[in-house]
Structure 1
Amino acid sequence: MFGDLHGRILPAFRFAAYWTKRTGREVAALLQVGDLGYFPDVSRMDKATLRHAKGDPLELGALDVATRTSAADRVFDDDPHCPPGLWFTAGNHEDFDELERYAQASGRQSDFAVDAYCRVRGIKDGAVHAFDRGPRVAAVWGVDGGGPNARQNLPPRGYIAERAVDRLTTETFDVLLMHDAPEGAKRVGYGSELLHTLIELAQPRFAFFGHYHGDGSRIEQDYGRTEVYHLTGFELRTRDGHPERGSVGVLEWAAGDGTFAFVEDSDLKPFTRHNWKWV
């Protein structure tokens, strides 16, 4: 489970393979909470992504998977421990036109590939994707658009769609991927009332969100049976370039139930932006 990647798609796959080699525990799939940074065309990037990319080329990582590249070949084809795929919801820093185009082209499938390798897969807004022998995972795209501190000037698809939330109130699922937080989870006056209501009604086993700064943590509020977690961005911007604390965790699932734990600092620190291609 990864927080915001902002283009660091290949480092996320590589971290999972590194973690498998370090622990001996295979990873069945990667899940991600939005702001994948899916901009396969530089001319369509938003201003914030372009600004960050000037000082950090990892922000441009979607370009490495949109077409076949030697960098992606090395990660996907040359490492036997590479997980089969990454499934994500959409945040507010994405090329929504491209995501919608791929989603519509996929027909009735619950997910859709956005890369040349069919390894990076979006879950449709308001849909539930069932993993073989794993959890049923639902997705809500975007951020809150109606609160007092709502982001302004996003594309319409950058905001949470009430119809997507309504669909999920009639579904059964185990894990909810959302980009924004349920209302009040991270800060007073921030987050989405719709997401809070969805969790209360659907009662998934887990709900995960990103979007906010600060160490990732469990949200210590009463959500019934649902455990709610914030994952901070997996951006490799710490002093030594290793993953941020609370940016990646492990969801284990068996016999219809699961557990979640953040990856320990001792496993984060050997992996850095400087050595991720080789560890």
Structure 2
Amino acid sequence: MIHRFAVFGDVHGRVALMLTLARRWQQEARLPLDGILQVGDMGAFPDHDRLDRSTRRYARHDPDELGFRDFLSPSPDAVSLLSPPDTPPIVFCRGNHEDFGYLSQHREPSPMDPWGKLWFVPDGQVLPWPIGAPELLRIGAFGAAAPLRPPAAERRGRSARRSRRKADRAELSLSMGPRFRLKDLQRVLSAELGPIDVLLTHAGPLHPAWRGGSPHLTRLAQALKPRVHLFGHHHQVVGPLSTPNGLLVGLEHLEFIEDNTLRPGAWGILSLDGASARFEWVDRQTYPWVARFTRFSWRSLAQEARSEQERAP
């Protein structure tokens, strides 16, 4: 049995665009998607008075940065894009631009929308797949930005002591923030949750093929033994790379660039078939219809797709 997932990088509120693209892929490929996976920075701000500084700044120029809230109630976009039976469940981890007070209310994997399709998976949790059916796959998550320097406990000197004290104060005052806490990582490592099929992290692991990455997330992947490790955050396209810790894929942000077309490397299709895993980028070379999606046309194309669906027998 082949399981197919659309996979998206940081969407920053562009949930409607994400769902429109996933639906269009299903129509063009004439294949169903089992789910949609998203690697954090969903833009989960249900209360726009609680936006972080960065989101508030970008939203002045692009109101779609605020689109997440529309999918928590039966808004027009939610009814047309999320409620239809052929819209598959969405699974996401947290990024570093979310309302952490809101997300921290969810201690276990849980849906956030009226139709039970928009699922948040907290750090260190595993979601059995398919949801509500006999388990065929296991999807794990560990979100937020990662510390890129070695932990203060492994450094010496006055600066390291200050870092340790600052980290201790932060861990006492925050249950969730833009960076994950090392004690939470250690808790997950001690829980022996692996092996899993798919690991969603916001930041990426350390790897020689690209700049950046966290050794802490490398340790996590080594412990959980995922078949596929998906991440975003870094504004880089990575892979797919075959590694000892699974197929590694890093995704760009889902957004429109200066020429008003979609940024390459922001999404693709993951296929899991038995023990094999394959990832294919969705771009205008492989799928020419992608070129039709521009900053100015995508909403009319979404309406066109809805009309075609309504006319279908």
Give the TM-score, by structure 1 length: 0.85
Aligned to 1:142, which of 123, 144, 148?
Answer: 144
Amino acid in the other structure paired with 1:94: E
Whether 1:129 and 2:149 are equivalent positions in the alignment is: no
Counterpart pick for 1:206 among 219, 228, 231: 228
Tell me the residue number matched to 1:182. Answer: 205
SS in 1 for 2:124: coil
1:118–1:205 distance in 2 versus 1, CA, 3 Å: same
Larger Rg: 2
CA shift, 1:258, in A, is: 2.3
Retained in 2: the 8 A contact 1:232–1:244?
A: yes
The match for 2:82 is 76
Q: Secondary structure at 2:204's aligned position in 1?
A: coil
* Equivalent position to 1:218, from 209, 231, 239: 239
How many pairs align? 264
Instruction: Report the Cα distance in structure 1 between the residues aligned to 2:178 and 2:204, rounded to whole angstroms.
Output: 14
Match of 1:61 among 67, 71, 87: 67
Aligned to 2:163: none
CA offset digits 1:15-35 (Å, max 9, x no partner): 111111111111111000000
1:89-128 superposed matches below 5 A: 89-101=93-105, 103-104=106-107, 110-128=108-126
Partner of 1:246: 265
Question: Contact (CA 8 Å) 1:176, 1:207: kept in 2 or not?
Answer: yes
**3-state DSSP class of the match of 2:177?**
helix
Q: 1:140 to 1:186 in 2, by over 3 A?
A: farther
Shift of the alpha carbon at 1:174?
1.2
CA distance in 1, matches of 2:213, 2:203: 6
RMSD: 2.5
More deviation in 65-74 or 139-148?
139-148
2:203–2:233: 8 Å Cα contact kept in structure 1? yes
CA distance in structure 2 between the aligned counterparts of 1:176 and 1:55, rounded to whole angstroms: 33
Moved over 6 A (4+): 152-155
Find the partner of 1:197 among 214, 219, 225: 219
Q: CA 1:194–1:245 in 2, change beyond 3 Å: closer, same or farther? A: same
| Closer/same/farther in 2, CA of residues 185 and 157 from structure 1, 3 Å limit | farther
- Cα deviation for residue 271 of structure 1 reads 2.3
CA 238–139 in structure 1, closer or farther in 2 if over 3 Å, else same:
farther
State the partner residue of 2:16. 10
1:62, CA displacement in angstroms? 1.2
* Between structures 1 and 2, the one with greater helix share: 2
Partner SS, residue 270 of structure 2: strand
Q: 2:278 aligns with which of 250, 259, 263?
A: 259
Between the aligned partners of 1:24 and 1:253, the Cα distance in structure 2 is 18
Aligned to 2:177: 157
Contact 2:221 2:245 in 1 (8 A): no
Shift of 1:11: 1.2
* Per-residue CA distance 1:71-113 (angstroms, 9 max, x = gap): 2212234x564x2221001000000110111x13xxxxx4112
Helix, strand or coil at the partner of 2:217: helix
C-alpha distance in 2, partners of 1:231/1:146?
19
Unmatched tracts of structure 2, length 5 or more: 1-6, 151-165, 302-313
Query: What's 1:107 paired with?
Result: none
Distance 2:35 2:294 in 1: 21
The residue identity in structure 2 corresponding to 1:223 is: T
CA–CA separation in structure 2 for the residues paired with 1:257 and 1:135:
13
The 3-state SS of whatever aligns with 1:61 is helix
Task: Look up the equivalent residue of 1:19 and give its one-letter code.
Answer: W
Cα drift, residue 185 of structure 1: 5.6
Whole-angstrom CA distance in 2 between matches of 1:225 and 1:162: 20
Question: Is this contact kept in 1: 2:148–2:213, CA < 8 A?
Answer: no
> Deviation of residue 226 (structure 1)?
1.1
Percent identical: 28
Render the CA deviation track for 1:164-202: whole Å, top value 9, x for unaligned. 4335441120111001111356755x3322101112233
Equivalent pair of 1:185/1:191 in contact (CA under 8 Å): no
Aligned positions of 1:17-28 closer than 5 A: 17-28=23-34
Q: In structure 2, what is the Cα distance between the partners aligned to 1:33 and 1:186?
A: 20
* 1:13 Cα deviation from its structure 2 partner: 1.0
